[in-house]
Structures are given as C-alpha cells and as structure tokens.
Amino acid sequence: MRTLRQIIFGDEVIQLVIRLGLLAVLIVWTLLLIRPFVPILAWSVVLAVALNPVFQRLAKILGDRPKLAAAILTLFSLAVVIGPATWLGMGAVDGIRDLAGQMTAGEVLVPSPPQSIKDWPLVGPRLFDLWDQASTNLRSLLREVVPYLKPFATTLLGFAGNAGVGTVKFLLSVVVAGVVFPYGPQLVAAGRDFLSQIVPDQSEHFLDLAGTTIRAVAQGVIGVAIVQSLLAGIGFKLAGIASAGLLAFVVLLLSIVQIGGTIVILPVIIWIWTDKEFPIALLLTVFLAIVSVLDNILKPLVMGRGLTTPALVILIGVIGGTLVHGIIGLFIGPIILSVAWELTVAWIRTERAPQRGDVGYGPPRSLDLHQGVSSSPSPDNNR
C-alpha cells in the first residue's frame, strides 16, 4: 500500500498536473484567439435563430433549396445593413461628434422658442413663455454642468469612433448567419447534446426556451426598435432637422429599453408646426404620430406572449453590451442577458418545484418571478 508521500509526489500526480496545465494553457490561448470574433459569432447566431422562420418559408417557396434561400436572405439583410442602417448610423455618429465637441468646448446650446408660437390661438402665448423659461433655465444649468461632462464627451467620441468597426462586424455577422442557415438542424442537435450533459432532464425544454427568447427579443424588441428608429429618422430628415440621425438613434435606444420614442418625437412635432407650412406640418405630424405608436402595434404581433423579461434586465444588457462590445453590443447585450434571465428562472422553478406526494405540493408562488416565460409549458404547469 503506497504512502501519502508516494501519492503526492508520484509520477501519476506529476503527469496529471502537467496535463491539466497544458489543457489550461490551450483553453486560455483559444479564448484569446477567438475573443475578437465573439461578438460576430454571437450576433450571427442571433440572426440565424431570429430569421429561421423566414428562411424555412423561403426555402419551401423556392422548392426546398436551402442554399438559394440562404443566399437571397443574406443579400437582402446586407442591403438593409448597407443602406438605411448605415445611413442612420453615420447620421448618429455625426450628431454624437457634434455633441461631444460642444461638451468639450462648454457650448451646449438649447434653442429658444420661435416667435411664431405667440400667434397660435389659445395656447400660443402660454407655450411660448414656458418654452422660453425652460430654454433660459436649461442654458444656465448646462453652463455649470458641462465642465463636469467632459469625460463623458471622451466616451462619446470613443463610441463614435467605434462605429466603423461595428458596421464591419455587422456585415460579417450577416454573412456568417447566411452560412449557418442551411446547417440549422445540425446546430440544434449539437446544442441539444451539449445541454443534455448539463441538464439531462430539461435539455429539450431549455433549448426551446433559449430559441423562443432569442426570437422574441431579436424580433419584438431589437427588430421593432430598428424599424421605428429608421422611420423616425426618415421623418426627421424630411422635416429638415439637422441632428436627424442622432435623434433617430435616441429613439432606437429608448425603444430597446422599453421607454418608447414618443418623448423624442413629440417635441419634434411641436417644432414642425413652428417651422413648416400647414399641409407639410400636417402630413409630417400624421407620419410621426404613427411611428410613435408603431411599437405598441408591432410588439404584440411579433412577440405574442413569448417573453416577459423585465425592462431592467434589458436596460442592463444594453449598457453592459455597449461597454463591453461597442455598438454591436448594444444589440447583443439585451439578447444574451434575456436568455440568461429566462434560463435561470426556469432552472430555479425546476429545482425548487415540490414533487408529487410532498407536503404543500403545488406551484411555488414565491419563485414565480413572472408568468409566461415562453410558449413552451414548464414542468410544474403540466402537473
């Protein structure tokens, strides 16, 4: 029987330590090599999962030709990214640079109300006074606060400088997603096998839940926000607003974090009526009013009841994703964090659900963090 000294200093232990050390070096080295490509791969997987229903329908229409359907869908996605999305992004970058320059110089300007507002019936004089007071007070307040915002201006400039790299990553992600489309079933099977090693009893449910969450957030949150911001940017541009791209980007952010772009669109509508002729102002007002409520119309149609992730989780995902991965993290962050949230809640329910015959058997109310995690029923709902 070997002594403790022989066990500790034996050849087997030394070989085991060497193997573990080499394995650790290999894993760390691999992570360092793929780290620059993680955002691209993550966003390509999100696109592949979110657009998979469209891909399946298109493949059937084309006579079960998945490669042709993947090529057409990829070209269409590239056209959207290269066209309106790039236009919106470049406009937002210019606006961010101007704002950062004003902060650095201490010259953030708040526009004064046009004199034409005084001629409006009933509300004109009162609205002019309120706007003038707000403009004066904000201007004096900003003069005191702006010197402290210079570090924030540096962050804004860094974010704007990262926009070009982010655009390239978007393009690469679309191409990678196009390559992934035909191999969807194999990737799903691989994901199921991987989860079966971690959660054998719930691998199928967790895989369905992850897919449902990705589609819900990508289509119902990110997709709707992009559509709304693009249409808002078109309306701002038609209205002749200098910072149309920046305002559209703000609408995008507010839509993603579930606040809505109405608080940006409403002041623009008021400004339109002070600057444009009646027919043009009326048409732009109708268009922007429809855009402002577009998210309330599209989200129920796209999402149904497949997601109830708290808005705070999405907000943290937006901020954290942007800080870690730049502009592409703005879209990846809320999706990844939403998936993690939904899987964690489902795992807690599964682990803590009492078994049949236990005292107090029934749904654990204290753990019911939210209803309707996904369209797939959870195990305790089947009982």
pLDDT tens per residue across all 383 residues of the chain: 455 555 555 567 788 888 888 999 999 998 888 888 888 888 888 888 888 888 888 888 888 888 888 889 888 888 876 666 667 667 667 676 666 666 665 555 556 666 666 666 766 777 777 767 666 666 565 566 556 666 665 666 666 666 667 777 778 888 888 888 888 778 888 877 877 777 777 777 788 888 888 888 888 888 888 888 888 888 888 888 877 888 888 888 888 887 888 888 988 888 888 778 888 889 999 999 999 888 888 877 776 555 567 878 888 888 888 777 777 777 888 888 888 888 888 888 776 655 444 444 444 443 333 333 343 444 444 43
CA-to-CA distance for 220 and 285, rounded, in angstroms? 25
User: Nearest 5°: phi and psi at 5?
Assistant: -60, -40
3-state secondary structure of 186: helix
Cα maximum dimension of the chain? 103
Residue position matching structure tokens 């007002």: 285
Give the gyration radius of the chain's Cα atoms.
26
Would you give the DSSP letter of residue 376?
S
DSSP of 96-148:
HHHHHHHHHHT----PPPPGGGGGSTTTHHHHHHHHHHHHHHHHHHHHHHGGG
Q: How many CB atoms lie within 10 A of CB 295?
A: 22
Q: Sort 208 into a burial class: Cβ within 10 Å, 0-12 / 13-18 / 19+.
A: middle
Of 315, 234, 316, the C-alpha closest to 268 is 234
Q: At a CB cut-off of 8 Å and minimum separation 6, what does 36 contact?
A: none
CA-to-CA distance for 209 and 181, rounded, in angstroms? 20
Total length of the chain: 383
